[in-house]
Amino acid sequence: MEYRDVTAFINKAKKFGSRLDLIRIKKLCELLGHPEEKCRFVHIAGTNGKGSASIFIENILARAGYKTGLYTSPFIYNFNERIQINNVSISDESLVGVMEQVVAATEQMLMEGFEHPTEFELITAAAFLYFAEEKCDVAVIEVGLGGTLDSTNVISSPLVTVIMSISYDHMEYLGNTLAEIAENKCGIIKRGCPVVCYPFQPKEALAVIQKTSEAMGCKLTVADTGSLKIERTGLEGNTFCYNGVPFETSLIGDYQIYNAITAINAVRALKNRGYIISEEDVQNGLKMAKWPARFEVLSRSPVVIADGSHNVDGMRAFVDAAKKMLHGNKVVCIFGMLKDKEYSKCLELLSDISDTIIVTEVDSLRAETAENLASAAKKYFPNVFAEPDNIDAVMQAKRLADGMRAIVALGSLYMMKNIKEAVQKIFH
């Protein structure tokens, strides 16, 4: 196989959509020699913040000298970035190597009468295989959707389970109440394995996390904010003290501080299990962690920010942070979102920081049309412009901002590659 054959095979599996069960991934792993049993894992679920927590923990472990895998979704700029070791994306050659084995296992599955694995199942199996072959000390695994029936949930005994912020998203799969959503995400909690929880959970969700942890005999640690002192938040990042120790993050937004202290508590759980991680490793890991399209500053003159917020809770966090970072000044918004998201509620939140919006279309078959987004936006914005093409949207934003206002692009991670490339071309 060549690289283009690999991506074609994976993309072809998109037609199978999401099938939430573990039948195919278990068979795939069996045929591959159970790579999911040959590595130790940190398993992370949640509605928002799990990607940021993953990159924090991965960076800290790498700084401590551990060979650390990272599996996240979706990719922003390049497919290979979904599978990394010590901040380095899997090479084309290595991806081809593991996918040749995954393809062979898939063909065997079909011969035995199993359904074809989904796109996510194929990539998950490839990640497990890569981490096993590379003999990673630890791999940090981000859940794709939910928890209980997510393909990553073949991990039998994680070193630590992390539950990030829980809110409403993917209700068609996970349930219509916070308790139901939390129950699904708590499906990754395994007997006797320590659990670390984000500090500000809705009480219904926290009750489920507490009940599940107790039933599974797990020590639950809810990240404590009593010993947290926030010193500075801004477009340069955050500085804060936690338990008397100073920390910095280059990831922007005060909510990243709460993601960071959750990661710190997860690392403490790892230290309790014998991993040698110094306070300096934690400080350097948090400071050096980079994560694209999370309040990412693409330009400073004028200010252009890209953020992948794609649900109500994430949008609220972005708006609150933007008010502080941009000192209450109105911004020009570029907005695109998938049709199955609560985009009307997100638009209402955005109208608190903007009176001018350009709606555009996400690079996905699930994208909502610019026409429908514009119709929804007119309820909240006096100035609405529709530019289906992302480059045209950035050009329109530049014209409307006129060098006087900041520009923010948000609503979906799936359009951030196009937005960043357009900004680099138009503003630099």
Write a three-state SS string for 227-294.
CEEEEEEECCEEEEEECCEEEEECCCCCHHHHHHHHHHHHHHHHHHCCCCCCHHHHHHHHHHCCCCCC
Each residue's pLDDT, cut to its tens digit, for the chain (428 residues) gives: 999 999 999 999 988 878 889 999 999 999 999 999 999 999 999 999 999 999 999 999 999 999 999 999 999 989 999 999 999 999 999 999 999 999 999 999 999 999 999 999 999 999 999 999 999 999 999 999 999 999 999 999 999 999 999 998 887 878 899 999 999 999 999 999 999 999 999 999 999 999 999 999 999 999 999 999 999 999 999 999 999 999 999 999 999 999 999 999 999 999 999 999 999 999 999 999 999 999 999 999 899 999 999 999 999 999 999 999 998 899 999 999 999 999 999 999 999 999 999 999 999 889 999 999 999 999 999 999 999 999 999 999 999 999 899 999 999 999 999 999 999 999 97
CA 153 and chain centroid, separation: 17
| pLDDT score for 12 | 94
CA 164 and chain centroid, separation: 11
CATH number of 296-427: 3.90.190.20
Tokens coding 371: 């026409």
Q: Which residue has the tokens 């380095």?
A: 88
| pLDDT score for 172 | 83
Domain 3-288 sits in which CATH superfamily?
A: Mur-like, catalytic domain (3.40.1190.10)
Which string of DSSP letters, residue by residue, matches 307-337? E---SHHHHHHHHHHHHHHTTT--EEEEE--
Tokens coding 51: 């990607």
* Residue ranges, CATH 3.40.1190.10, the chain: 3-288
**Helix extents (H) in 161-251:** 171-174, 178-185, 203-215
| pLDDT score for 252 | 96
Q: How far is CA 207 from CA 89, 93, 180, 213, in A?
A: 38, 46, 11, 10
202 prior amide bond cis, ω within 30: no
3-state SS assignment for residue 229:
strand
* Residue ranges, CATH 3.90.190.20, the chain: 296-427
| pLDDT score for 15 | 85
